[in-house]
Amino acid sequence: MNTGLAFEVEQFLFHEARLLDEAKLAEWLALFAGDGFYWIPARADQTDPFNHISILYEDRSVLALRIERLRHPRAYSSTPFPRTARMVGNVMVAGEVEGGHSIVVKSTLFVAEYRTGERLLRACLATHHLRRSIEGLRIVLKRVDLIDAESPPGLITVPL
């Protein structure tokens, strides 16, 4: 196993989580490749977002619109903006192609979210497809499988 690569992708995932916890959403969006997608399947066994209903399947441009809406002063569902704490663990490089230019990483993700009067804990299995670029690693696909995806997901205002 390439321990340098494992450390690099771990640090990338930790950095992504920190940006989200600090509500630095524009910086988080910059981690996505121009052709990147963010996907939350409706079922754990979903093989694609096209032939099944998903909780969320958005490209980078739609994510940018979502962030703009979240930050709008009249976005009452996110005022005040929810506070979160993420824990990323069990990070494993699941595959590499093209000499490490494309990397698949699997991890476990816990997201604790607090909105005025409401606490929420989400447990997830995450899969990142990363690509090397001049700027560093970039997300081509972030898939977040909620462990209770078959239950009503409730309001998901912040990216997981």
In this structure, is residue 154 part of a structural domain?
A: no
Instruction: Give the phi and the psi of residue 46 in degrees, each rounded to 5.
Output: -65, 130
Assess contact for 109 and 124: CB atoms under 8 A: yes
In this structure, is residue 156 part of a structural domain?
A: no
pLDDT at position 77 over 70: no
In this structure, is residue 32 part of a structural domain?
A: yes
In this structure, is residue 137 part of a structural domain?
A: yes
Q: What is the rounded CA–CA span in Å between residue 69 and residue 120?
A: 22
CATH code for position 120: 3.10.450.50
69 vs 136: which has the higher pLDDT: 136
Q: What is the mean pLDDT of residues 92-112?
A: 87
Between strands 136-146 and 32-41, the pairing is parallel
Q: Encoding tokens for residue 36?
A: 């990147």
Predicted TM-score (pTM) of the model is: 0.90
Residue with tokens 């991890």: 107
pLDDT at res. 111: 94
Q: Encoding tokens for residue 33?
A: 């490749």
pLDDT digits (tens, 9 = 90+) for 110-159: 999 998 788 888 999 999 999 999 999 999 999 999 998 777 766 676 67
pLDDT at position 81 over 80: no
Q: What is the rounded CA–CA span in Å between residue 88 and residue 124?
A: 10
Q: What is the rounded CA–CA span in Å between residue 12 and residue 130?
A: 10
Q: Domain range for residue 22?
A: 3-146
Cα torsion for 25, 67, 157, 50, to the nearest 10°?
A: -110
Is residue 99 very low, low, confident or very high in pLDDT (cuts 50, 70, 90)? low
pLDDT at res. 115: 81
The chain-wide mean pLDDT, for the chain, equals 88
Q: What is the rounded CA–CA span in Å between residue 66 and residue 72?
A: 10
In this structure, is residue 157 part of a structural domain?
A: no
Q: What is the rounded CA–CA span in Å between residue 62 and residue 60?
A: 6
In this structure, is residue 160 part of a structural domain?
A: no
In this structure, is residue 129 part of a structural domain?
A: yes
pLDDT at res. 102: 87
Name 121's Cβ contacts closer than 8 Å, sequence gap at least 6.
110, 111, 112, 113
Please tell me the total count of domains within the chain.
1
Is residue 80 very low, low, confident or very high in pLDDT (cuts 50, 70, 90)? confident
In this structure, is residue 8 part of a structural domain?
A: yes
